Amino acid sequence: MKQLVVATKNKKKLSEIKDILKGIDLKLLSLDAYKNVPRVIENGKTFQENAIKKAVKLARFTGQFCLGEDSGLCVDVLGGAPGIYSARFSGRDKNDVKNNLKLLRLLNGMPVSKRKAHYVCAVALADKDGLIGIVEGSCFGRIAFEPEGSTGFGYDPLFYIPKYKKTFAQLGEKIKHTMSHRYHALKKARRIIQKYIEK
């Protein structure tokens, strides 16, 4: 069975990717399977640039087929922020709770009409010879007035889907994994992965 190294140590993200890609004849590994992994400095100007950096650098390091992913939340009224800085939005001592609280502070007093937002996910695939493909997916919603729900991670407790009248964290994985930004990007990536392993 071929291996796909997912360029992350985030267990929740890995679990989500595994769930969305299930059915492909691949063993998915995270960076935890390797020692002395080189640090990838995410200084790209877009999600795609950061995803490519991760995939290419870590494919060279591991010698394996590799998936690099970068994703984040873009809030219209904040000019697309937190964007590529989503994971480190609240500074050096960042965590999901602090990031969510900072976002709520910035949107304090804003009406529903000013709370439009979308998640973006870029997925890059590379092997030791270089980049194979890059795809992107999005999911649109708005920012809730307070965190709701207990599943998912990141900004999921605040990302509200009007169709369901629930946040991602309330919807749960079963529904989230059929409509999220990561689902849309991985659905496109799936075709590239399938082609690669059939070679």
pLDDT, residue 130, reads 96
Q: What is the pLDDT of residue 1?
A: 76
Q: Given this model, what pLDDT does residue 173 score?
A: 87
What pLDDT was estimated at residue 77? 98
Nearest C-alpha neighbor of 126 from the set 28, 193, 26? 193
Which CATH number covers residue 22?
3.90.950.10
Distance (Å, whole) CA 13 – CA 153: 8
φ, ψ dihedrals at 141, nearest 5°: -165, -145
Q: Are 182 and 121 in contact (CB under 8 A)?
A: yes
Tens digit of each residue's pLDDT (9 = 90 or more) over 2-57: 899 999 888 888 888 998 998 898 899 999 988 999 989 889 999 999 999 999 99
Total number of domains in the chain: 1
pLDDT of 144 over the 90 cut: yes
Question: Torsion over CA of 140, 7, 28 and 10, rounded to 10 degrees?
Answer: -70
Residues with catalytic function: 70
Rounded Cα distance between 43 and 128, Å, is 22
Q: 19-34 pLDDT, tens per residue?
A: 899 889 889 999 998 8
- Residue 7 dihedral angles phi and psi, to the nearest 5°: -75, 70
- Bigger pLDDT: 92 or 166? 166
pLDDT band of 152, cuts 50, 70, 90: confident
Instruction: Give me the chain's average pLDDT, please.
Output: 94
- Rounded CA-CA distance 44/34 in Å is 24
Q: What is the mean pLDDT of residues 161-179?
A: 94
Q: How far apart are CA 36 and CA 38, in angstroms?
A: 6
pLDDT for 13: 87
Structure confidence at residue 10 (pLDDT): 84
Which pLDDT belongs to residue 118? 98
The amino acid present at 138, given as its one-letter code, is S
- Domain with 52, as residue range(s), is 2-198
What integer is the mean pLDDT of 68-75? Answer: 96
pLDDT of residue 164: 96
